Amino acid sequence: MGALEGRRAIITGGASGIGRATVELFAAEGGAVVIADVNIAAATNLAEAIIRAGGRAIAVACDVTRSDDCRRAVETAVESFGGLEILVNNAGIVRRADVVETTEDEWARVMAVNVTSVFLMSKRAIPVMARGGGGAIVNSGSGWGLKGGNRAASYCASKGAVVNLTRAMAIDHGPQNIRVNCICPGDTDTEMLREEARQLGQDEAAFLAGSADRPLARIGSPTDIARGVLFLVSDAAGWVTGTTLVVDGGGLA
């Protein structure tokens, strides 16, 4: 049996990058997965591939900044799989700019996708988990939620908020047997990392090479991060809540 046999999960931003790797790993470990993403075509293709491989998955169109979409994602888990034990608040965006360069609309958008989405999804998911006896939530932070970074004011602010929101949620919902933790990736080989290079006007290959400047001398793979998420939602982390797990090849060190 896999580590998640019989458990039901929602993963936001699940159609690509770290989200996709987490979906695939959870399915391989026996979990039933709701793939919540704005890109419903990519989410559907991934769900169909998992089903063909013998797993359980369903796609749902979800803009994580919209309360109704978040409600629908949770309802899909209950209607399709009978319940919900795991929520991974993975969806996120980045804007590489300082406070002067950042527009008010850009600031609001980063905060909505990176922070408000955690509130909206958790607000809908926690009552379902509580009725079922408990669960585990993993919020996606960043190394830059624990330290500052250049030309990333809105991103750093949003990820710092996620780190401390995680602590508050862990305190509030521990009595309901709901564990809440935060994963803090370092630079990971995803489309979002390449988007950072474009926003900064830098050569993509050189930017990725620079991102490998850390003790383990490489950038992370989405699977590296997904394995950390799997640990946090598994029974192996049964007494772990309110903490941050840094998965960054030693970069923060």
- Active site amino acids: 155
Sign of CA dihedral 234, 56, 126, 137: positive
What's the Cα-to-Cα distance from 64 to each of 9, 99, 132, 161, 177, rounded to whole Å? 16, 24, 23, 17, 25
Q: Determine which helix (DSSP H) or strand (DSSP E) holds 205, and give its type and residue range.
A: helix 204-211
Quote the crossing angle between the two packed helices 117-131 and 153-173, to the nearest 10°: 20
Half-sphere exposure of 120 (CA within 13 A, CB side): 22
Sheet holding 32-37, edge to edge: 56-61, 32-37, 8-12, 86-89, 135-140, 178-185, 244-247
Nearest 5°: phi and psi at 198? -65, -40
The whole-angstrom distance between residue 36's C-alpha and the CA centroid of its chain comes to: 11
Maximum Cα–Cα distance across the chain: 53
